[in-house]
Amino acid sequence: MKRIVPLLRISIPFFLLLLAAPDAQGQLLKKLKKRAERAAERTVERRVDQETSKKTDEVLDSILEPGKKGKTPTGKDGQPLPGGDNPNNTGNDGQGGPDANAGESGPESITVYSKFDFVPGDQPMFFDDLAYDFVGDFPAKWNTNGSGEVVTVNDSPEKWLEMVPGYNIYYIPDVPTLPEEYTIEFDLLAVGLDRQTSSTAILDVVLSDDSMFKRGANFVQAKLPFCQYAAIGINMENHINNKRVIYSTVRADVRDEVINRPHVSIAVNKQRYRLWINEEKHVDIPRIVPTGAVLSTLKFGINNFKDGKERLFITNLKVAKGGVDLRRKLLSEGRISTNAILFDSGSANLQPQSMGVIRQISQVLQQDGNIKLNIIGHTDSDGDDANNMSLSKKRADAVKSALVNIYNVDTNRLTTEGKGETEPVGDNGTSEGKAQNRRVEFVKI
């Protein structure tokens, strides 16, 4: 009762005021009605804004990242990428074995690479597919000031080095001192990337005069981006005697490439630096490599990947001296041998990055209509002798088929032969030696 009295003291005069002032009551009700109408309008506007924003995002997604929304990232063959969120899950990626070389093959991807103009060096310096390292160990032919381990992906025996992000962390393969002219190739696998992946999620590829864990007084560096919500471009930088001379971002949209097991190729010819991702050349800077200093060391760094979610792996690192124009060598010497024509493990399926060499051979044949070539395939010693003999012949036939069907070379100008493992040029007990033995020769006849 005590609580009701104060309420009555307030409400009764207010009620009497309303009875005594019908105009005031009417005005109050009108205001309340208008407020209710405005509130309803604002609610409708918010819902319209939300739906509009949602539709706008969907349209932008379809423009900026067509085909990605709500789909599992796939390789060029349309199959899901290996590894999912856990690179040690099981599945089937069709790769494997010490004879494996990375990449997807098939008519469509081979055709895409038909204008690929990267040609690897002809003198192998370093090759590591991690075949002789144990899963869980840090690879024997690498060094780091951070952490990392060898892993497998899906049910393939192919091995990868998982690099762990960190500030000023580098991964340094035991590559001999780099010469003036050489090429670098490697395969990458990234998992866990999405629209939240940072614009600063990058892989540093550094050529440096420092043999340990600094960038050095003289270096050239490419920063490969893994961001998915925008096309970040490839940042290029050099220092000469501790002074930055070049710092630029080369426009490039590599979002699709970096989620589809990219093959990276680099060619250094004195001061000139070129970089390809898969079949496309993105960087060609004529004077970025410092002169007068020995850039002896190759190193990799990984930055701003979300720990435990976004993961990056590397394998099949190959460094070769030279980069000789095979066309001139074939014309002058009548014979060339190359281990830059790659096949899927245990098969004659050409890997598309092989097309740079095959394209140069086609140019020789187009230049001189009288030249005829014998194509000779060789394998390493893995597997049965008879199978290797048959496989080497099939691989020579595959090269001939590419020359005939893609570059329109007359089939009568080409013969093929397989020699299996009978003529090794390297030690089949090492990864480098096996890589040298897996080769194709072209001989003028």
| Pair 176, 104: CB distance under 8 Å | no
Half-sphere exposure of 370 (CA within 13 A, CB side): 2
Average pLDDT over residues 280-307: 92
Which residues have CB under 8 Å from 371's CB, separation 6+? 364, 365, 413, 444
DSSP 133-153: SPTTSPPTTEEESS-EEEEE-
**Higher per-residue confidence, 399 vs 69:** 399
Average pLDDT over residues 237-244: 95
Mean pLDDT, the chain, rounded, equals 80
- Alpha-helical segments (H) within 21-114: 22-64, 107-112
- Provide the pLDDT for residue 77: 38
**Higher per-residue confidence, 398 vs 88:** 398
Residue 193: pLDDT band (50, 70, 90) is: very high
How many whole angstroms separate alpha carbon 129 and alpha carbon 331? 33
Residue 203 has pLDDT above 50, yes or no: yes
| Pair 224, 302: CB distance under 8 Å | no
Residue 66 has pLDDT above 70, yes or no: no
Q: Tell me the percentage of the chain whose pLDDT exceeds 90.
A: 52
Residue 62 has pLDDT above 90, yes or no: no
Helices H, strands E: what count in the chain?
A: 8, 19
- Provide the pLDDT for residue 123: 81
- Provide the pLDDT for residue 115: 80
How many whole angstroms separate alpha carbon 349 and alpha carbon 106? 7
Q: Where are the beta strands (DSSP E) in 171-210?
A: 171-173, 181-191, 202-208
Residue 39 has pLDDT above 80, yes or no: no
Average pLDDT over residues 95-118: 58
Average pLDDT over residues 243-265: 93
Average pLDDT over residues 307-317: 92
Which residues have CB under 8 Å from 324's CB, separation 6+? 121, 122
**Higher per-residue confidence, 344 vs 66:** 344
**Higher per-residue confidence, 83 vs 121:** 121
- 17-29 tens-digit pLDDT: 445 555 555 554 5
Residue 199 has pLDDT above 60, yes or no: yes
**Higher per-residue confidence, 87 vs 106:** 106
- Provide the pLDDT for residue 423: 93
Lowest mean pLDDT among 66-70, 202-206, 290-294, 358-362: 66-70
| Pair 288, 103: CB distance under 8 Å | no
The 10 Å Cβ neighbour count of residue 313 is 21
How many whole angstroms separate alpha carbon 252 and alpha carbon 226? 12
Of the candidates 311, 315, 70, 59, the residue with the CA atom closest to the CA atom of residue 185: 315
How many whole angstroms separate alpha carbon 372 and alpha carbon 416? 11
Calculate the CA 91 to chain-centre distance.
21
Average pLDDT over residues 399-426: 94
- Provide the pLDDT for residue 301: 96
DSSP state of 174: -
